[in-house]
Structure 1
Amino acid sequence: MASSGLQLLGFFLSLVGLAATVGATLLVEWKKQYQGKTHRIFEGLWMSCSGNERTTCEYHQYLLKLPREVQATRAVMLISVFLSTVALMVSTVGMKCTRFMDGKPESKSITAMIGGIMFMVSGILTIIITSWYVKVIVDINQESSQLQSFEFGNAVFVSWAGGLLTVAGGAFLGCRTCSQSQTTGSMISNNHLLPPKEGPRSNYV
């Protein structure tokens, strides 16, 4: 049951990581700027918001006119969400607690491992693109002569957390060594329970 517990833990972590990644993709606060004490400007991957106590938001109209960091981050985050969604379905088939492929334990273990690897790739993509986005914002601020420059917002931290949780969950799901050791141990114990085979009886006393 140890490997089943690890798989459930990995599945739960990956699910939370996927939810955090989706949330970060939709959040508007990827970068922020404060003008004075009350006026705020937020920019996300899909829209920008500005205002004082009451903010107004509008969607980005032209994709090609967006900054390169927004275009690249939006594309990679969507790829990451898609990959995690596919990994979620693959992992469900390969987990020990499901009824799929019960007669093929080896194929079931490989399927769970593939789902875990896909989760890890998805999380690594999220971490890389978020770190690159932060680096671009920092570089722009260093080169800018404006007194009030943009800072990265809360969506960046949510994205980092989602990527780390997805990688951790994928690592637990892909722990095929634990699954193999449990399978081998159960086979050995079953062999001990089987009665020994009797040889051919001799007619001589």
Structure 2
Amino acid sequence: MAFLTRRLVERVSLFLSFGGLVTTFVTTFLPLWKTLNSDLNEMENWYEGLWHMCIFTEELGLHCKAYESILALPPDKLASRVLMFISIATGLLGVFAAFFGLEGVLDGSGSGGGGGGGAQRRRKLKRGLLIAGGVLIWISGLTTLTPVSLVAYYTVVEFWDENVPDVVPRWEFGEAMFSGWIAGLILVVGGSFLFVAVCMGDCEVEKAEEVQALSLALSKDTARTRPYLKTEVL
């Protein structure tokens, strides 16, 4: 497992987090959260998202219409909009914080003075940025999973509602819901890898301090037991 270095873990976590953030952004504006296909007209498919209601027919193609009023939206859609925007914002902040906390990024800036103290301050700053990035990315993942799961819950409740006649078509899960679940899980994994990288960095610092203390103790013992040169009187 020598190839599993802290630098590699940091890069993998940033790559996963950025991929999850892009998927979250695309999912937010896709009109494919729910789909409906009527048995009476199999050539007509309805799609519903957070922003648009769409209809697809083979003759006319895909036509979408935005919701007319925000206040008229159902509570699950309104809450999902807010949570998805929070997810995108926290994900962006988390990715930026994690990027500047990576090992090897901007390490040479501001190193004109301070010596070891400056390096220690930079290490603490990068450690704090990685922790902040991990927390923000975790929040982004959870705020992506929450609205998708909320819409899925309402969809399941409406699908099995016994008060609705069987002849009425039911909404089902769309492709965007699955991409939202995947995006949320990727963000959670990416944030977790940042915490793993922080722990690996702490272990490296502890080992370096132990080696330094051991070498210092050995040098002192060597200085005490250094043999004296004997001089002869002619």
Contact 1:112/1:173 (<8 A) preserved: yes
Does residue 130 of the first structure (1) align with residue 130 of the second (2)?
Answer: no
After TM superposition, give the deviation of residue 5 of structure 1 in Å.
1.1
Write the deviation string for residues 112-133 of structure 1: whole angstroms up to 9, x where unpaired: 0111111112101211221111
Q: Deviations over 1:145-190 (max 9, x none)?
A: 3531111200000000000000000000122221101222234445
Match of 1:87 in 2: 94
* Correspondence for 1:145: 165
- Alpha-carbon distance in structure 1 between the residues aligned to 2:49 and 2:173: 10
The more displaced of 173-182 and 143-152 is: 143-152
The alignment's C-alpha RMSD in Å is 2.5
Which residue does the alignment assign to 1:14?
17
Which residue of the partner structure matches residue 33 of structure 2? Answer: 30
Structure 2 residue ranges without an equivalent (≥5): 112-118
* Percent of paired sites with the same residue: 25
> TM-score, normalised on structure 2?
0.79
Amino acid corresponding to residue 49 of structure 1 in structure 2: C
2:215 and 2:73 map into 1 onto residues whose CA distance is 68
CA contact (8 A) 1:3 1:182 kept: no
Aligned to 1:99: 106
Deviations 1:1-24 (Å, cap 9, x if unpaired)?
A: 711111111111111110111111
For residues 89-140 of structure 1, give each alpha carbon's deviation from its aligned partner in whole angstroms, at most 9, with x where no partner exists.
Answer: 1111211131257722122112201111111121012112211110011111
* Aligned partner (choices 131, 135, 142) of residue 117 of structure 1: 135
Letter in 1 for 2:44: H
State whether structure 2 residue 189 is matched by structure 1 residue 168: yes
Structure with greater Cα Rg: 2
Report what 1:65 is aligned to: 72
Counterpart AA for 1:177? C
- AA aligned to 1:106 is K
In the alignment, the residues of structure 2 paired with residue 190 and residue 11 of structure 1 have an alpha-carbon distance, to the nearest angstrom, of 32
> Which amino acid in 1 is paired with 2:138?
M
Is residue 115–residue 174 contact of structure 1 (8 Å, CA) maintained in 2? no
Deviation at 1:196, TM superposition (A): 2.4
Whole-angstrom CA distance in 2 between matches of 1:187 and 1:146? 71
* Unpaired segments ≥5 residues, structure 1: none
Matches of 1:105 and 1:167 in 2, distance apart?
24
Q: Report the 3-state secondary structure (helix = DSSP H, G, I; strand = E; otherwise coil) of the residue aligned with 2:63.
A: strand
Cα distance change, pair 146–157 in 1 and its aligned pair in 2 (3 A):
same
Match of 1:196 in 2: 219
Q: Which moved more, 1:83-92 or 1:175-184?
A: 175-184
Measured after TM superposition, the shift of residue 55 of structure 1 is 1.8
Query: AA paired with 2:219?
Result: P
Separation of aligned partners in 2, 1:190 and 1:45: 58
Residue deviations 1:36-95 (CA, integer Å, cap 9, x gap): 211011011111111311121111221111122111111101101100001111111211
Tell me what 2:176 maps to. 155
Task: Provide the rounded CA distance (Å) in 2 between the counterparts of 1:114 and 1:92.
Answer: 11
> Paired residue for 2:202, among 176, 180, 183?
180
